[in-house]
Amino acid sequence: MNKEYPFNKNVLIAVDESENARRAVLYVAQLLEGTEGFRISILHVINEPEEDFFPNPEERDKWIIQHKNKVDKMLEEYRQILINRNFDPDTVSVQSTRRYCPSMSKCILEEKDKTEYSTIVVGRQGLSRTEEFLFGSISSKIVNYARNCTVWVVE
């Protein structure tokens, strides 16, 4: 007998300002086209900027405010992409959270674990092997570390 695995229709799209993140949003918008029952959440984790990067705390606070505004605008734009593809506005939410992330993929997965998502969607960054070696690849690590969910990596 085929065993049925419990999963829900909640989809988390992890995004940043990159073109590949936009592609991930567009993919979900085009694939699901507002299909009833799906709930979409668009997440951006703001990597808490190290204090070292700024000459003083005021500069840091200024950066955080400016960056948060930029992120809010980006998330709203992504939300509209989904709404324009027939998603009920009530089923599309956005969230940004600021935290210290030695590993961005782990931060994203920890955010996912806070709520019930059976599917996580990320864009592939298209890094060269050297870049992946020097800085790591968020999508690769999400694929490696994700548990109890399905990962869609959008090319």
Partner 1 sequence: MKESISQKTLHKMVAKWASPKPETYRFKIYKDTSDFFRVEYGSVVVLDERPFLVLHNAKEGRFGLDDEEKFWVKRAIDLIDGSKKIIKLVFYEKFVANIAGIAFECFRSPRKEARILNLVKDHKNFMHGYGVEDEKKNIVRVLDIINGKPLNDYFQTLDIDHKTYFHEQFPEILNKYIECIKAIKFLHEHGEKHGDIRRDHIFIDRKNGDFRWIDFDYNYQHRENIYSYDLFGLGNILIFLTGMGDVLTPDLKKQNHPALNSLTDGDVNLVFHNRLANLKKVYPYIPENLNRILLHFSESANWFYDNTSQLLEDLEEYMQTK
Residue type, position 41, single letter: S
For position 20 contacting partner 1 by CB under 8 A, the verdict is: no
For position 134 contacting partner 1 by CB under 8 A, the verdict is: yes
**Out of 113, 116, 126, 133, which residue is the one contacting partner 1 (CB under 8 A)?**
133
Would you tell me how many other CB atoms lie within 10 Å of the CB of residue 131? 12
User: Going by C-beta distance under 8 Å and a sequence separation of 6 or more, which residues neighbour residue 71?
Assistant: 44, 46, 96
Cα of first residue to Cα of last residue in the chain, in angstroms, is 35
Interaction with partner 1 in 54-73: which residues (CB under 8 A)? 55
User: Interface with partner 1 by CB under 8 A: which range of 38-46, 59-67, 71-79, 134-142?
Assistant: 134-142
* Encoded tokens for 52: 């070292």
Residues forming contacts to partner 1 in the complex (CB under 8 A) are 50-53, 55, 102-105, 128-138, 141
